[in-house]
Chain A
Amino acid sequence: MTQAALSNEVSVLDWLSSVIEQHGTKPSSLIPILQEVQKQHRYLPEELLTYIATAMNLSPATVYGVATFYAQFSLAPKGKYIIKVCDGTACHVRKAMPVYEALRKRVRLVDGKSTTDNKRYTVETVSCLGACGLAPVVTINDRVYGQVTPDAICLIIDELEKEEGDQA
């Protein structure tokens, strides 16, 4: 089901209950159900997890435990653009941190948050993306940018903002 179809035709809850119906309420269905929620919302909203626990007759603590165990799931909302700044040894030495700081400032992330309030950007650091030759490396969704400088990252964001603005 697509995002558009979701908001126009059926409510989140109808969608979720049909997902649960499809997979069944045996404990082994939990992971596939969480995967669908993650795909649909790009994170696992707490209230939906509580609903899943209710519908599957599991304790919410167990559902939370599974949801936090796998790296593929996120409990915090993620932005449309997930930006990863590599801070592996090579990138670190080549000044990845100033890039990271400049980026956070450019998208106005404060107080240790990792996702912007408009849910457009999520900024994370990772340890080694395996492209050390290009250090410092930044990825935005699946695109890789090499030898990024603080100025360069701001230009890249400017571009994205322009695209987003054109769309709106």
Chain B
Amino acid sequence: MGSMIIDGKTVEFNGETNILQVIRKAGIDLPTFCYHSELSVYGACRMCIVEVDGRGINASCHTPPEEGMTIKTNTMELRKIRRNALELLLANHNRECTTCERNSTCKLQDLAQRFGVRDVRFGERDVKAPIDTSSPALVRDPNKCILCGDCVRMCKEVQGIGVLDFANRGSKMVVTPAFNKSIGDVDCVNCGQCAAVCPTGALVVKSHVDKAWEAIYDQKTTVVVQVAPAVRVAIGEEFGITGGRSTIGQIATALRQIGADKVFDTSFAADLTVLEESREFIERFSEKKNIPQFTSCCPAWVKFVEQYYPDYMDHLSSCRSPQQMFGSIVKRYYARETGIAREDMFVISVMPCTAKKFEAERDEFKIDNNPDVDLVLTTQELARMIKEAGIDFAELEPTSMDMPFGFATGAGIIFGVTGGVSEAVLRQAHEVISKKELTNVVFKEVRGQAGVRAVETQIDGITVRLAIVHGLANAGRLLEQMKAGEVSYDLVEVMACPGGCVGGAGQPISFSASEIRSERGKGLYREDQLQQLHKAQQNPMLNDFYQKWLQSPGSAEAHEALHTHYGSRRRIDGEAISVNEFDSAPIEIQVCVGTSCYLKGSVNLLKLLTKKIKDEGYEEQVKLRAAFCCQQCAGGPMVIIDDKVIGKVSGDRINEIVQLIKDKLRVSAS
């Protein structure tokens, strides 16, 4: 605690870690590119410089507050340095603002405007780097990157992955995935958080607005729209409605005005998920099988497990996410009910999420190549369409959603905030296990903003241990602790985005993320309160639906339509390492040295195998390769002989492989 003088005013500080925070608290909006309160301090952009009496010019994000400091934030020299820095950034930046996705939400544009930069005295960059559109969720335009490193730190520190990093140096420096690969060819989980912190248009969410219009304009197609819970408390921000106020009624009106044929609520499918997932949980819990159960609503988290924790695949709930459950029931049952052919129905999701774009494209969710969900729009994209259509959103008369899938309970609505899925499942599990009515539906202990919340709760005298996690770095740490036997849980809820879906990268862009996120979260809890029903099992539309099509949760039909199975996944595409030089040998053997097999000792296995083959005199008949991940990690170490895949190969199975080689050679000889 203490005080300092900022621009002549005395300002108290208390716990702030740098003077930038104190200055902003004093109401001065000091410019920054590379500072984010939730990431480590990088101190590279120099926009936040201030003059500290007796110490000269310092980066305020880097300087801890001290008693009695005297600080000036606005002097002739500071202004000159900032403007110069801005001009240098602009010189290296592709300045096609009018056609940029981030036009009007770009920090560089905003600051150039604020500082009145009217002329860039330095030349433009002459070579244009290619734009990377390989990812289903993101577009990367290196020509707009200002090297602030925000995305690098976000992906490393919050998501624990490290897809992006700096490469090269000097004037050639870039921020790029490994080996300059496309972002779609590496271990990106499509969470989009890097794009959410990027101050410019260098990383943006891939837009599908044009495709949405096409479907809407096509008279033959019936456009069915689902709206995720978190969208309703955020889209208003684009139209001056703040404070996490729900605008679900306006969204319904706007969508109809735009041309949607049916407007439904993803929260209905979330209610459906609650019933399926708690049934699954109760079964696993009582059999002590694949416990802890991991939630599977977040596609970024699912991909994370597929890539890094193949041995925990069976712990993922087999439930599809609410988005995919919705797509499935609409195209299976609603199509039948309304007599519209699957191909003539076009399902659009409006999501707070970028990873949902990836999820909708997964093969698991297609029938005869026709996807259950045809297109995913983010909250931002829907806002853009509303603006494009010239609709005055704030003044719209609210209308209600269409039936039957427009009816949701509070349980389905709180899915959009961290802890919501757990709470919704608890509301159901309590009644099933205790066979008594649950009167107090609020589980305060699972709510909150801490990155990992461990909770023990009693259901009818039985203790259930929950962990609620947001941010994949937190999830990774938790899994490591589980592996090491330091912690154990029964149910683990994970959302990749900070704050849960309300903090999704598809939500309106804001540079004070954490406050806005918590407002949106509160908005969802308020919505829950306002509903008449708070438990998924009370949803009358859902109960009718079960009766008509699925019988009961967990039935064979429900499994077919609502559940799935995920497999392990390679982290990075690339070539295998040649282990010997017999490239034209008749037999090819690949030993997997991807992370999982590596940890299971595949390198040693390869060594033994090489020696054995040599000792037996087959050396020149076999081309040996060390490959990176054959996507069957749980069965590792994996060996592939031509196209035969053998799993769980240990040292004592080497003879078996040699026998296979002999057989093959005999066959080809005869």
Interface, chain A (partner B; CB < 8 A): 7, 11-14, 17, 45-51, 53-55, 58-65, 68-69, 75
Contacts and interface: CB of A to CB of B under 8 A. Distances in A.
Contacts of B579: 11-13
A102 B409 CA distance: 78
A64 B603 contact: no
Kindly name the residue among A17, A58, A63, A65 whose own CB sees the greatest number of chain B CB atoms within 10 A.
A65
Interface in B581-636: 581, 593-595, 598, 603, 606-607, 610, 624, 626, 628
A46 B574 contact: yes
A37 B422 CA distance: 49
15 contacts: A14-B610, A46-B575, A47-B628, A50-B628, A59-B162, A59-B178, A59-B187, A60-B571, A61-B165, A61-B176, A61-B177, A64-B165, A68-B169, A69-B167, A69-B168
Contacts of B628: 47, 50-51, 54
B161 A59 contact: yes
A7 B581 CA distance: 8
B610 A11 contact: yes
Contacts, number: 89
Contacts of A13: 577, 579, 593, 603, 606-607, 626
Interface in B546-574: 571-572, 574
Contacts of B578: 12
Given A13-B603, A59-B162, A61-B162, A69 B572 contact: no
B186 interface: yes
Contact of B166 (A11, A54, A60, A65): A65
A63 B162 CA distance: 11
Contacts of B300: none
B167 A60 contact: no
A149 to B, nearest CB: 32
B580 A11 contact: yes
A62 B165 contact: yes
B600 to A, nearest CB: 12
A48 B167 CA distance: 18
B593 A51 contact: yes
B164 interface: yes
Q: How large is the interface on B (under 10, 10 to 19, 20 to 34, 35 or more residues)?
A: 35 or more
A51 B626 contact: yes
Contact of B574 (A7, A50, A55, A61): A50
A59 B165 contact: yes
B182 to A, nearest CB: 13
A60 B187 CA distance: 10
Contacts of A47: 574-577, 628
B607 A14 contact: yes
Contacts of B169: 68-69
- Looking at A7, A47, A49, A75, the one whose CB has the most chain B CB atoms below 10 A away is A47
A64 B610 contact: no
Contacts of B603: 13, 17
B167 A68 contact: yes
Contact of B178 (A12, A14, A60): A60
Interface in B143-180: 156, 161-169, 176-180
B624 A54 contact: no
A7 to B, nearest CB: 7
A75 B578 CA distance: 18
Contacts of A45: 577
A17 B579 CA distance: 12
Contacts of B162: 58-59, 61-62
A162 to B, nearest CB: 27
A24 B344 CA distance: 59
B574 A65 contact: no
A20 to B, nearest CB: 10
List the 8 closest pairs (A to B, CB-CB), nearest first. A59-B162, A60-B178, A61-B165, A65-B165, A61-B178, A11-B579, A68-B167, A64-B178
Contacts of B607: 11, 13-14
A76 B36 CA distance: 37
A55 B598 contact: yes
Contacts of B164: 61
A54 B598 contact: yes
Contacts of A7: 581
B577 A54 contact: no
A74 to B, nearest CB: 12
Nearest to A62: B165
B598 A50 contact: no
A54 B626 CA distance: 13
